[in-house]
Structure 1
Amino acid sequence: MLRIMLLLIIGILLSGCMFPQDQRSGGDVPYEDQRKTVEDAVHQYREATGVLPIETRDQDTPDFRKYPINFRELSPYLSQLPTNAFENGGVFQYVILNPEEQMDVRLLDIRTSRELQDVQRQIHQYRSDHQFAPVKDIVHEGILKLDHEALSFDEEITVQSPFYPDHRLPVYMETDGSMVIDYRIDLLKVIDENGMGGYAEGDDIRWLLTDHHPVVPDYSLPMTVEDGEIVFKKTD
């Protein structure tokens, strides 16, 4: 069923060494060796200090942004910053997932935020002019489809997937004005390629993306499988 749906929808080397010369300008590539070297350094830091080298964030910060790495703290365990890190002019923020267990390091693509900021500016301007939001339809409880024509966009509002460059992902809005990216196309593809990996109906399957890719699904909401279809997970 998921394979059929997919066909329908889809139309550092750091430790004691310098980065290879051919990677030094790759600020927009999620190099696996850089990610792994930072992850190893995080484990060493935790073992030595008992804490994580992270920036402080509010408790209600979304999971995929909640534990950004503080490279100032981590620097004694790295020979240099990753070439693709935001702090070094790259486009990725390094974050920690599962901080109490595996302490996996993944990358958050900040270009997505920049794209969505443009959309939000258009929404704010529209609301200022019309006193209501440019909503076209209801996608799910609390999730709204935007009227792209009212916002002066030629096409439905999408952003490029950080997982599959040939995918464009729909952008929605929550009732509180927050932006939401719909990763269902990406999830269908990762399931088609790798299976469910032990996840079951009712589980938040966004983690499948981070299980098989070095980046995270920013601006996402919990998603699950119901009756063979990927859906936004019902709120409690």
Structure 2
Amino acid sequence: MSDPTSNPQPEDVVHDADGDAVNVEAVNDGESVPGGQPGAGTDGSPSGANDQAATAGEGGSTPSSEEAGPAAAMVTLDEHQRLMAEYVNYKRRVDRDRADIQQRAIGDVLESLLPVLDEINLAREHGDLAEGPFRSIADKLEGSLGRYGLERFGAVGEAFDPMLHEALMHAPWDASNEDLPKDATSTTVVVVMQPGYRAGERVIRAARVAVADPE
């Protein structure tokens, strides 16, 4: 049996548990590692795997910042325009609703004053407003309400309009009545029992009338 000390081994050679010689230099160069693969890293994966993944990330389908920038900007612009359109529509709807509410409120106030206006109209027809302070008060009240669009309508000789007039009775045609048009061809108002009022296009109260058909 030979003495191991008599045959010195190179410094790069060591013995494993079975006494076989292992070339340390070869192991360091990645040529052969027990239990691993040549060129394997510390986690057992090929040493070039990470480099290949990095290369794939650079040349793969993932868009670069230069390519994604215009697309992202376009999406942001479209979203901004959509929000602006929604805001404009919302503001128009709010303004329209506000105007409708205001007109209804004015109409309600004017309707509550119709009994007072009826009394003033009757007093004027009976000559009680010919002079005196009451006439001045009545004129100022009607003038103030007129600024809110209040208008009185309904007169003898008007053509009957079911949207404006409420026919309470049907009377015979009186040809001697000078207020009736001579060329009337349709149902006509012959007596106004109670005038109508409207504010703008809204009819607050239809005129209550008697009508007749021309002969």
TM-score range, shorter chain: under 0.3
Higher relative helix content: 2
**TM-score, normalization by structure 2:** 0.21
Larger RCO (CA under 8 A, 6+ residues apart) = 1
TM-score, scaled to structure 1: 0.19
